[in-house]
Amino acid sequence: MIVLKFGGTSVGSLERVREAAAIAAAQPAPRAVVVSATSGVTNLLLDAGKQAARGDRTGMAETVAAIVEKHQSILDGLPAGPDRNETANRIEDLHTALELNLAEVTLAGDFSARLSDRIVATGEKVMSLLMAATLRDMGYPAEAVFADRVIATDARFGSARPDKDGTREQADAIVKPLLDEGKTVVMTGFIGGSPDGSTTTLGRGGSDYSATLLGAALHADEVQIWTDVPGVLSADPRLVADAREVPQLGFEEAQELAHFGAKVLHPRTIRPAVALDIPVRILSTFAPQEPGTLVTRESSSDELKAVTVMKNLILLTVDVPELEDLSGAAAAVFGALYEDRTEVVLAAQASSRRRMTYLIEGGNYGGCNRVCSRLEDVVREREYEVEIRCTEDVALLAAVGQGAADQTRALSRMLGVLQREGVPVLASNQQVSNVAMVAGVPQKLADRGLLAIHDEFIGSRPSGVKLRRQRRSRLMAESVQVG
């Protein structure tokens, strides 16, 4: 069987929904479709929740009206008849439930993660009904399934962890019989259900992850991620004009790319595919005839395939004069970062100088002031003597590909390129997997460094391919942002 996932822009309008349905219908059965909310709706739902919490009734009503209108414009494409009426009723029920949930938020004066998940799920639920009805209208039996009954998760609202065994059992019980009847199942992406039956979400952009989770639960032959770029690109085309499609990636390469900031895939997407060796293909609904990117166990070449940049990071150095304190101080630092849910992007330790270097996500951390006072507190509590230094506005450049395995040569080449460009390297590393080389650099020089590394390792685009560039840069909404 095949799982096809369509992102927000791929179901962004009536025409796009019909095109996505046609792409799905062209695949051999059995097939399951996973859908995101239509583009913009997830952000609108979150806005409505925040307005509800502030008691801004007028703002909230306007936001809800915008959501309803977006859904209505797609519903309008269905021909009049009992199927359309039934779909319209179910969508109205979802909109009514949305308003009740928003009223609950206003009452509580607080937009809790639990209510947030229940509220944002509306976007995917409505889309699954619209897509299933569109498929039926085109002559293909189809049924919408809400993933809070299928994807079993824990209760970490906003970023729930899936339970593989529970998901397999539920997929077998709920999805499989529908496929066996010859129906195309249209499942909501992004959402799951906690053990007590509450709706959860897998984190922003999580519909890709839903697709591979369903694929793994049903032992799919292939998972196709249909998006708005023709596959994984060798760099963000807004920063590197010569960026080109990458035809093939190994699982590890794809995971490193997603981890280091390539927005085309949600970072957790590939993992479920690895254990069962399920190929994942990334394709464009705007150019369905293009081959896209195929992700499989092995990498097809030992070249560097793509470069990424992650911005808004904080560089932290912790000097520990007493060697005996080193591990304890490291544990205290990691403990505090873990408690604050701050992601450590890179960690290195030079024991001879008793120095630890970390690159951490700065986004929700409140900058160096906050980091330093927090970390000084935790190490002082344990009576370690440490000196902490902190730099904001740091970016991480990553060059990803099996080619990084030839560590010393490739890394020195990359550092050489940065030096030539006058980009100082604040920290660098090869991942232990040997699939990525990374360098922390001052953020204001990051784009220049990225361009130079791309030129050096990947080079300019072969001339015949240039034609596609303009169209591509126009069509990038989904792969560079979510919502």
- C-beta closer to ligand ASP: residue 264 or 359: 264
| Residues pairing with 112 in the sheet | none
Interaction partner, residue 42 (ligand ASP, Mg ion, none; CB < 5-8 Å by kind): ligand ASP
| Minimum distance from residue 208 beta carbon to ligand ASP (Å) | 6
Interaction partner, residue 190 (Mg ion, ligand ASP, none; CB < 5-8 Å by kind): ligand ASP
Interaction partner, residue 204 (Mg ion, ligand ASP, none; CB < 5-8 Å by kind): ligand ASP
Taking the C-alpha atoms of residue 467 and residue 331, their distance in angstroms, rounded to an integer, is 52
Site string for Mg ion, 196-215 (x = CB under 5 A): ---------x----------
Ramachandran bin of 462, using left for φ above 0, alpha for ψ from -120 to 50, beta for the remaining angles: beta
| Residues pairing with 293 in the sheet | 282
- C-beta closer to Mg ion: residue 7 or 237: 7
- C-beta closer to ligand ASP: residue 232 or 388: 232
Place of tokens 């053990």: 195
Determine, following the binding rule CB under 5 A, whether residue 267 of this chain makes contact with Mg ion: no
Determine, following the binding rule CB under 5 A, whether residue 12 of this chain makes contact with Mg ion: no
Quote the DSSP letter at residue 443: G
Total site size for Mg ion, rule CB under 5 A: 2
Place of tokens 């639920």: 125
Taking the C-alpha atoms of residue 409 and residue 2, their distance in angstroms, rounded to an integer, is 41
- C-beta closer to ligand ASP: residue 36 or 255: 36
By the 10 Å C-beta count (0-12 exposed, 13-18 middle, 19+ buried), 293 is classed as buried
| Residues pairing with 187 in the sheet | 34, 145
Taking the C-alpha atoms of residue 301 and residue 303, their distance in angstroms, rounded to an integer, is 6
| Minimum distance from residue 450 beta carbon to Mg ion (Å) | 21
Assess contact for 207 and 456: CB atoms under 8 A: no
| Minimum distance from residue 117 beta carbon to ligand ASP (Å) | 11
1 three-state secondary structure:
coil
Structure tokens at 146: 């809400």
Neighbour tally for 137: CB within 10 Å: 18
Percent helix / strand / coil, the chain, rounded to 5: 45, 20, 30
| Minimum distance from residue 474 beta carbon to ligand ASP (Å) | 20
Give the torsion through C-alpha atoms of 237, 243, 249, 253, to 10 deg.
-70
- C-beta closer to ligand ASP: residue 21 or 121: 121
Interaction partner, residue 483 (ligand ASP, Mg ion, none; CB < 5-8 Å by kind): ligand ASP
- C-beta closer to ligand ASP: residue 449 or 483: 483
- Which residues in this chain contact ligand ASP in the complex, by CB under 6 A? 7-8, 36-37, 42, 123, 189-190, 204-207, 482-483
* CA neighbor of 249 nearest in space, from 306, 307, 310, 308: 306
| Minimum distance from residue 271 beta carbon to ligand ASP (Å) | 16
Return the residue nearest ligand ASP (CB atom): 207
221 three-state secondary structure:
coil
Determine, following the binding rule CB under 5 A, whether residue 7 of this chain makes contact with Mg ion: yes
| Minimum distance from residue 144 beta carbon to ligand ASP (Å) | 16
- C-beta closer to ligand ASP: residue 44 or 426: 44
| Minimum distance from residue 7 beta carbon to ligand ASP (Å) | 6
- C-beta closer to Mg ion: residue 184 or 207: 207
Q: Which residues bind Mg ion (CB under 5 A)?
A: 7, 205
